[in-house]
Amino acid sequence: MANLLHYFASHLATLRLEFWSLLVGGFATGVMYAMVAIGYTMVYGVLRLINFAHSEVFMSGGFASYFMMRALIGTSTPSGTWSVVLVIIGVLTGGVAGAAIAMLLERIAYRPLRRRNAPKLAYLISAIGASYFLYNLAGKEFGRINESMPSPYINHTVFTIFGAPVQLYYIVIFVVGVIMLITLDRLVATTKLGRSVRAAAQDAETASLMGVNIDRTIVLTFVIGGALAGAAGFLWGLGFTGVGFYMGFTPALKAFTAAVLGGIGNLRGAAIGGLLLGVVESFSVAFVPASYIDVIAFGILVLVLLFRPTGILGERLGRSA
């Protein structure tokens, strides 16, 4: 017992020492999880299916922006306004590539099944097949190794919060991620386009009777989710992990978890779930060896689902996208 107390006391000391560092790092990861989780939750809201090829949408964004950065930066060291422009170009490239791949996925892997009224299991298999195909294609074309992305800026500590260094990389993630997430929220809540997405989620048949083009709306949800995931792929690749054919697997799995944690089908839930998962993962390190981080993360998921089976914000099927 005394041992146990001592164990927790010493780890609490570690946590106090590193609290702010871990919080900043966890938030940065969380924002990226949130951006990927949006894609899962939107597609689920409209089609009631989990797009398991979403990890490869993320990966495509990473690779497209990697090639763009390599072409534009090469071996130079950008600075000033050029750095800002490069980050914007990277986000756009990643976003466009993600959107394009997501659209293709919808066309090739899902629409033919939808036309034939296939059972939901068929979608699942089709998604897994598309995922295998895409990442192996990337492995074949781009090599099965990690590539480090040329950096559009020199990473350095910009300021500190209570002694915790906040780096430029984290600031880039926060700024890009928060802008995109808020834009999306407004888009879905206030525009005509958003209304059609919400209507299709609520009752696709009635919505189509009311003049909503269902096919177009479904493509739109894929494109929006894909753009966010693609941009997240760029941000992820900018960090120490670089880009690789298998880069989508774990982040997407975590993002899916985040979407369920927040309440699948609920946009804000996905964002909150992502942030929460990122921070929880980060804090776990203060308490347990790295090998048990996932145990903590998924343990919390199970606890949350035990008490709130529909996730933190609840499964708002039909009302949000």
Binding interface with other proteins (CB under 8 A): 14, 17-18, 21-22, 25-26, 28-29, 32-33, 139, 144-149, 151, 155, 157, 165, 167, 169, 239-242, 244, 246-247, 249-251, 253-254, 278, 281-286, 289-291, 293-294
Smallest distance from other proteins to CB 74, Å: 14
- Which residues are CB-neighbours of 287 under 8 A, at least 6 positions away? 11, 15, 296
Residue with smaller CB distance to other proteins, 66 or 110: 66
| Residue 302: burial class (beta carbons within 10 Å; 0-12, 13-18, 19+) | exposed
Residue with smaller CB distance to other proteins, 90 or 194: 90
Count other Cβ atoms within 10 Å, centred on residue 125: 13
Determine the 3-state secondary structure of 207 from DSSP.
Answer: helix
Tokens of residue 319, six digits: 């009302």
Tokens of residue 66, six digits: 């990697």
Smallest distance from other proteins to CB 157, Å: 8
Smallest distance from other proteins to CB 71, Å: 18
Residue with smaller CB distance to other proteins, 112 or 143: 143
Q: What share of the chain is helix, strand, coil (3-state, %, to 5)?
A: 75, 5, 20
Smallest distance from other proteins to CB 320, Å: 26
Residue with smaller CB distance to other proteins, 29 or 131: 29
Smallest distance from other proteins to CB 246, Å: 5
Tokens 């804090």 belong to 283
Residue with smaller CB distance to other proteins, 70 or 120: 70
By residue count, the chain amounts to 321
